[in-house]
Amino acid sequence: MKVVINTCYGGFNLSDAALEALIERGWTVQSYSDITEESPPQIVEYPINVSPNGQRYSLWTVVCDENYRAHPDIVAVVEELGDAVNGAMSKLKVVEIPDKIEWTIQEHGGKEWVAEKHRVWE
C-alpha cells in the first residue's frame, strides 16, 4: 500500500498544481460561500472545498485525513508531479507499507511518518 506523508517540518499541504491535477481527475471544487453548517469546522482556514466522486470534504480533510493519504488519486498526483506537488512548507513523499496492516500517520512539528496502530491506555 502507498501512503503520502510530509517529510519536513511545517505541515502537509498541496500546491495549486496538485489541486488542479485532482480536478483534472474528476474532483470537484465548491466556493467558500457554498459551505454549510454541516461542513467540517476546519474549512474556515481554507477558501475552497475539494471532493472526490461528488462527496463534500474540506481541503483540510483531503490533505490531513488518513484515508485520503492512501487515496489512489493523491498518491498518483504526488508521484507524477514530484516537487511541484509541494505546498508551502511541505515536502511530500510516497512511502510503501505492507498491505493489510492497521496504520496511522504520526507527526512532530508537521514532519510525519507512518506507524502501525497499536493499543494505548492512559
**H or E segment to which residue 2 belongs:** strand 2-6
| 75, 2 contact by CB (below 8 A) | yes
- What does pTM read for this prediction? 0.75
Is pLDDT above 70 for 6? yes
DSSP string, 47-104: SEEEEGGG---BHHHHHH-HHHHT-HHHHHHHHHHGGGGB-TT--EEEEE--TT--EE
Condensed to tens digits (0 to 9), the pLDDT of residues 65-105 reads 676 788 888 899 999 999 999 988 899 999 999 999 999 99
Pull the grid cell for residue 44: 474556515
Is pLDDT above 90 for 15? no
Burial (0-12, 13-18, 19+ Cβ within 10 Å), 29:
middle
- Residue 2 identity (one-letter amino acid): K
Measured distance CA(32)–CA(103) in Å, rounded: 32
Residue 92 phi, psi dihedral angles, 5° rounding: -85, 150
- Residue 37 identity (one-letter amino acid): E
Condensed to tens digits (0 to 9), the pLDDT of residues 18-72 reads 888 887 887 766 555 555 655 543 323 344 556 665 555 555 545 556 767 888 8
